[in-house]
Chains A and B, each alone.
Chain A
Amino acid sequence: MLVEFGNVGHPQLAGEPAVTSMDVPLSPVGDVDGLDFSEGLSAADLALHLARNPGMVTHLPGHSAAIAILDAWRAHSGQVPPAWVSCPGNPDLERLLAEFFECARGKPDDVEATHHTVSGPPGVGPEAEVAS
């Protein structure tokens, strides 16, 4: 499952907007083969749990996907919250992350024009890859 963030804090990009993409292996709740996500968790409860458990060990069974995403985000963000989050494959996870970071939901229509993406720097879209 693809989760994307609007990143304006990556240390290598000096504040230039970029897309951070995460490939999240989502499995049924309790399945040991991947990460799980249970609907309904509030952002406030998630934040409280993380504040009480600031190290590597947490205790939120059924929510390992959210835990992993937030830990990965810390490594990309320069401690700056994302401008937006997009997860069309799981609207409730997108809702949770947007509430947690207090950011917008959904990828901007002009993302290729304004962000570093896999197609290139701002202004370069996927058509450039086709042309090359």
Chain B
Amino acid sequence: VTRLNCGYDKQAAALAGGSQFVAAGTATAITATTMTKTGAFTGLTLDYHVVVIVDQTTPFGAWFGLIISNTNDALTVDRWNNPGTPEGAAGTPTTGTHNYSYLIVPGSAPAMYMALSADTAAVSATDTSLASEITTSGGGLIRQRAVYAHTAGTSTATLTGTFTANGSDSLPVTVAKVGTFSTVAGATGKPMWEESLVAGNGGPGVATLNVSGDQLTATLTITL
């Protein structure tokens, strides 16, 4: 598995709290993927951080988003996640001008999600996206939360995904590359690690899924 250059950026932010700050305030507007607070983010680089929003109006509610980018006045997140089920459907906070408090916290989960691709090219450390990521709406091969595993006292951890093809997927498909992300929405964010499955690239061999119900399981072992 190859740690990408943008993966080092993620790791630095996660381990050391990032280059910026912890911030809090009251948002002026929310959409499904943005949060606005005029002037609040001027001069800051907040990608890889987590922003938590809390609805201050009955019946309240709280969600979090992984920041993909920001301007002086707004944050763009992959989506608003339900805290208890980040692998599930997106949260649905009330949009528009509403009474939200927000908190930007340092760090993130830089490789919480795993994605697949049929791209056979070798991994390059300068990759900033997973080329040809499978993003079929409703399909079973889309980005999903990975199983994180660690044995106490050791210097490695694993990320495992098992993807089950369904009737929405375009089959057959030969999966040739795996990437990990902090964001769940397909084709968003930057990968931390990638691994080519192509034997000629040092991988274990590509895997072809032919029919609905076929499953692909990939485990990436990472050295911390």
Contacts and interface: CB of A to CB of B under 8 A. Distances in A.
Interface of A: 7, 10, 12-13, 16, 18-25, 27, 30-36, 55-61, 64-65, 67-69, 71-76, 115-118, 121
Given A18-B151, A72-B149, 15 more contacts: A10-B154, A19-B152, A20-B152, A21-B149, A25-B144, A33-B87, A33-B144, A33-B184, A35-B144, A55-B205, A58-B217, A59-B215, A64-B163, A72-B147, A72-B219
| For the complex of A and B, 4 pairs with smallest distance between CB atoms | A116-B153, A34-B87, A25-B87, A68-B162
A74 to B, nearest CB: 7
Interface in B186-221: 197, 204-205, 207-209, 211, 213-219, 221
B138 interface: yes
Given A32-B144, A32-B166, A76 B149 contact: yes
Which of A16, A56, A116 has the most B CB atoms < 10 Å from its CB? A56
Contacts of A118: 152
A2 B46 CA distance: 30
Interface string B99-141: 0000000000000000000000000000000000000001110
A93 to B, nearest CB: 13
Interface of B: 85-89, 138-140, 142, 144-156, 158, 160-164, 166, 184, 197, 204-205, 207-209, 211, 213-219, 221
A74 B219 contact: yes
A100 B207 CA distance: 26
30 contacts: A13-B153, A19-B152, A20-B150, A20-B151, A21-B149, A25-B146, A25-B147, A32-B138, A32-B139, A32-B140, A33-B88, A33-B144, A56-B205, A57-B207, A57-B215, A57-B216, A58-B214, A61-B213, A61-B215, A64-B164, A64-B215, A65-B162, A67-B215, A69-B147, A72-B158, A73-B149, A74-B219, A75-B158, A76-B151, A116-B151
Contacts of B146: 25
Nearest to B155: A12
A22 B160 CA distance: 10
Contacts of B158: 72, 75-76
B153 A18 contact: yes
Contacts, number: 135
A118 B152 CA distance: 6
A46 to B, nearest CB: 13
B152 A21 contact: yes
Contacts of B148: 22-23
Contact of A68 (B142, B161, B204, B211): B161
A116 B149 CA distance: 15
Contacts of A55: 205, 207
